[in-house]
Structure 1
Amino acid sequence: MLSDFGEARFGQKSYTGVIQPVPYRAPEVIFGMPWDEKVDIWSVGVMMWDMMEGKNLIRTLPDAEAETEPVYDDQLAHMVALLGPPPADFLKRCPAEKASKYFDEQGMWIGEVAIPDDSFEKAEERLEGEERTKFLEFVRLVVRWKPEDRLSASELLQHDWLRK
């Protein structure tokens, strides 16, 4: 079953505003930056993880969906644990009032929660051997801070993990 969660957009190359359910929300959406189809690539990676592992890749507050402006501390802290800190050029593109709640001028985490001790390797519990290696490689190619660093849909279709 495919769904757009009522958030599909048509007709432009770049958009602004909030889309995506909070657990699947791409970093550029969280920070209020312009976004494009690469938010969907992020969502594919996070949803693939959820389907393969039976649990969310990125932790969010349980009531995050109910709030008008979600609190992203837990979500962003977990993203830092998995991806490392965001690149400086990504943070420079973020609206200062949003980024400065979570990162200092050097890009160091200053959010109100601790960065969890987690990684893709620690979180992945179901796969073994080459399948595990290829799956983690796939996820790392799509779950990235910078949208321009994520593979395109056509590039992902050529990935060994999907083709197998």
Structure 2
Amino acid sequence: MALAFRLVLKSGSHFVRLRLRTALFHSSMSQHQDEPLDEYRPGGYHPIKLGEIVGAYEVVRKLGWGEYSTVWQVKSLLSEKPAAMKVMKAELTDVPELHESAYLRRILTADPTHPGFPHNLHLLDEFHVEGPNGKHLCLVTELLGESLHQYANQFPHKQVPIAAVKNILPQVIMAMMYLHEECNIIHTDIKSNNILFTLPEGAVSPVLSPTPTNATVKLIDVGVACWADGVDEHFTELIQSPELRAPEVVVGAGWGKPADIWSLGCLVHELTTGRFLIRNNIEEMVIPYMHALYFGPYPRSLTTGGKYSHLFFNDDGSQLHPQPERLPLADRIRKLRPPGDTDTEELIQFLDLMLRLDPGERASLQTLLEHPWLAQN
């Protein structure tokens, strides 16, 4: 569908600045390309070879890399148990705004009896290694399997079977409940790439294979998380990948735990329809208009109460660039789901609880966990 407003939107300078600042932290881990060799420099990546001993671990294979780290499968010299080791760039090892090791320690100790505890990634070890490019923080965690994003790629139209979705989602919700309620952590990056399946018993390497509906998943990557009582101290105003970004974040109206609920809704939409709610790589300045396309006008609190509301809305709350077209999200979902699917209407109702423009109207995690749709087979 052609959208008239697409022609008139340009990047605001604040988004350009913030994009440069946050791009480093919101890059997905790549498993299919080599990291840029010019980043092996003072302050950059630590050079590692297969078979090398790093700390108390032997390096077995490379699992992937991101803009601020490389990740390796390793084997403990003490137990030979497989694990994953993230090796940070030297220049980011002691950045005071990043608290990943502190978050992982809190997750490990807050309340191991909580039902969400086993669905979060667990820290096994942490240490520093000195190299030609500086001092690097190494975080050793459990070795996990394929991501939910990879899993979805196995199915026609990337639509995960509803039975599998209903098995996976309660685990993700419980993981989020543990972070929010026991750890005082807002994840800020809930997405399919950050949800991984546990390995089958006895497996020593991640495998890509069909997963049964009784599989266990874990929520990973708190590298860009935030203490819930320290949002104002977070290193960036623009949390979340653009296609998953909550309305209150886009307009700079302040954010909190409900931002994670919005991302969860985007995740459910992706798994059940095979499409992102909003296409990835979207220009940030278009996001509120896409929200309005699916959900209607922004609430007054967002059109006037945000630091950047004036970039999108007039003083009376109307859009700077009116769009005559509407495509209610419910209609879009009905078109994307298989014809005659008996779950579609209940799915739409479930999504509506999370995808509310007003963060105060989004459902609690407990309400979502108890929703009848998740219990239906």
2: CA distance between counterparts of 1:11 and 1:134? Answer: 32
Change (3 A) 1:104 1:4: farther
Superposed, 1:108-123 pairs within 5 Å as 108-111=318-321, 114=323, 116-123=325-332
Relative contact order, higher structure (CA 8 A, sep 6+): 1
The residue aligned with 1:94 is 306
Using the TM superposition, give the Cα deviation of residue 89 of structure 1 relative to its aligned residue in structure 2, in angstroms.
2.8
User: Retained in 2: the 8 A contact 1:81–1:115?
Assistant: no
AA partner of residue 274 (structure 2): G
User: Retained in 2: the 8 A contact 1:13–1:36?
Assistant: no
User: Retained in 2: the 8 A contact 1:81–1:117?
Assistant: yes
1:126 and 2:343 are equivalent in the alignment: no
User: Retained in 1: the 8 A contact 2:298–2:357?
Assistant: yes
AA partner of residue 310 (structure 2): S
2: CA distance between counterparts of 1:72 and 1:5? Answer: 26
The residue aligned with 1:38 is 258
Identity value in percent: 25
AA partner of residue 56 (structure 1): F
1:84-130 deviations in Å (ceiling 9; x for gaps): 001113323212xx11221122222223x846542213321215454
User: Retained in 2: the 8 A contact 1:80–1:115?
Assistant: no
Superposed, 1:6-155 pairs within 5 Å as 6-10=223-227, 12=229, 14-15=231-232, 17-59=237-279, 62=281, 64=282, 71-73=284-286, 75-95=287-307, 98-111=308-321, 114=323, 116-124=325-333, 125-127=336-338, 128=340, 130-155=342-367
Please give the secondary structure, in 1, of the residue aligned with 2:252.
Answer: coil
User: Retained in 1: the 8 A contact 2:304–2:317?
Assistant: no
The residue aligned with 2:59 is none
User: Retained in 1: the 8 A contact 2:266–2:277?
Assistant: yes
The residue aligned with 1:160 is 372
The residue aligned with 2:47 is none
Using the TM superposition, give the Cα deviation of residue 136 of structure 1 relative to its aligned residue in structure 2, in angstroms.
0.6
AA partner of residue 152 (structure 1): S
1:66-87 deviations in Å (ceiling 9; x for gaps): xxxx5322x2211101110011
AA partner of residue 242 (structure 2): V
Change (3 A) 1:11 1:103: closer
Change (3 A) 1:102 1:163: same
RMSD (Å) for aligned C-alpha atoms: 2.3
Change (3 A) 1:76 1:4: farther
1:36-79 deviations in Å (ceiling 9; x for gaps): 1111000000111011111111245x3x5xxxxx5322x22111
2: CA distance between counterparts of 1:115 and 1:48? Answer: 28
User: Retained in 2: the 8 A contact 1:143–1:150?
Assistant: yes
TM-score (norm 2): 0.37
The aligned length equals 153
Pick the structure with greater CA Rg: 2
